Amino acid sequence: MKELRTFNTDQIKIVNDSVEIAEELVSNHYKMSASQWLHRKYDVKTLAALNPDEIVHGHYAQIIRYKGQRKDTSLGSSTYDFYKICIQDHSILATLEQLYEMKQFSFILYIIVHELIHIVRFSKFLQSFDASSEERMAEEARVHEKTHEILKTVRFSGLTDVLKFYNYSVSFDNLQNS
């Protein structure tokens, strides 16, 4: 099997910067305090840190839900949902090569904001993680809309191109699934 390409050191820094800004944008949008935001149990990992079963093709990221539990407890009532945002470097890099005008920072910012919105919605019980495929499609549309709502208020180089890309992609996917 062909080895998948991973982000280099400079690209990892861009991912880290994107995550930091995405967290701020999403927490501000949902009016969540720092303690509320930190209370959310999630992590963001790039391809180099993913297990083989966390790698997908054709998507830029996916969220996997795990059950967490503090080491000093054995009660089932002390479990919590832990979400892992699995960044798919290979898919992102392939798209960036095809759309050379697309800026990596803005593209990854969109992806992270999108995934964080999902986590907030799961955590606030606005959406079930285990939804039907039909409901997942509807949820994707809602989350894309919310992502656009959040990002249209900020100015970063290349963000307009990313918003146009996702408007086209979402519209095209809806036509294919009709």
pLDDT of residue 84: 94
Can you tell me the distance from the alpha carbon of 90 to that of 74, in angstroms, rounded to the nearest whole number? 39
Does some domain include residue 162? yes
Task: Say if strands 42-45 and 61-69 run parallel, antiparallel, or are unpaired.
Answer: unpaired
How many domains would you assign to the chain? 1
User: What is the signed CA dihedral for 60, 9, 160, 134, rounded to 10 degrees?
Assistant: 10
**45 DSSP β-pair partners:** 86
pTM given for the model? 0.85
Chunked in runs of 10, what are the mean pLDDT values of the chain (178 residues)? Answer: 86 96 92 70 94 93 84 67 93 93 94 94 72 78 91 91 80 40
Does some domain include residue 145? yes
pLDDT of residue 50: 96
Does some domain include residue 3? no
Can you tell me the distance from the alpha carbon of 8 to that of 55, in angstroms, rounded to the nearest whole number? 18
In the chain, DSSP finds a helix count (H) and a strand count (E) of: 6, 3
Does some domain include residue 1? no
Q: Find the farthest-apart pair of alpha carbons in the chain and give their distance in angstroms, rounded.
A: 52
- From the list 59, 22, 38, 36, the residue with the least C-alpha distance to 150 is 22
Q: Which domain holds residue 88?
A: 9-176
Residues 6+ apart with CB under 8 A from 116: 22, 23, 26, 42, 85
pLDDT of residue 101: 85
SS3 content of the chain, % helix, strand, coil (to 5): 60, 10, 30
